[in-house]
């Protein structure tokens, strides 16, 4: 029995490798399912906008807006920098 294997072009592989290298300098934070708290992925400090996720534990599909899930430390640092001006 032959298995179907999907091939990806060299250009796509190069883009993926470049993305991985760029992400090395960013801070990682875990994305948790809003229903059960299971870790569904990792976001980098430059992540913006919305992301649709499916929890592998409870199977819930959720939409996350990164603006609502920033770390508290980031907000405090941001406020301090505004007061400084
Ligand atoms: Zn879940």
Q: How far is ligand 1, taken at its centre, from the CA of residue 15, in Å?
A: 31
Residues with CB in 5 Å of ion ligand 1: 33, 35-36, 38, 55, 57-58
Q: What is the pTM of this model?
A: 0.63
Helix (H) / strand (E) containing 54: strand 50-54
What residue ranges do the domains of the chain occupy? 26-83
Task: For residue 49, report the distance from its CA to the centre of ligand 1, in Å.
Answer: 21
pLDDT in tens, 20-63: 999 999 999 899 999 999 999 999 989 899 999 999 999 999 99
Q: How far apart are CA 58 and CA 73, in angstroms?
A: 29
CA–centroid distance, residue 27 to ligand 1 (Å): 24
């Amino acid at each position: 029995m032959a298995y179907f294997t999907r091939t990806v072009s060299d250009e796509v592989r190069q883009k993926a490798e470049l993305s991985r290298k760029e992400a090395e300098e960013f801070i990682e934070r875990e994305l948790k399912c809003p229903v059960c708290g299971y870790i569904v992925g990792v976001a980098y400090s430059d992540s913006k906008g919305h992301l649709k996720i499916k929890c592998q534990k409870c199977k819930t599909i959720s939409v996350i807006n990164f603006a609502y899930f920033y770390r508290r430390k980031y907000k405090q640092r941001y406020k301090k920098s505004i007061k400084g001006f």
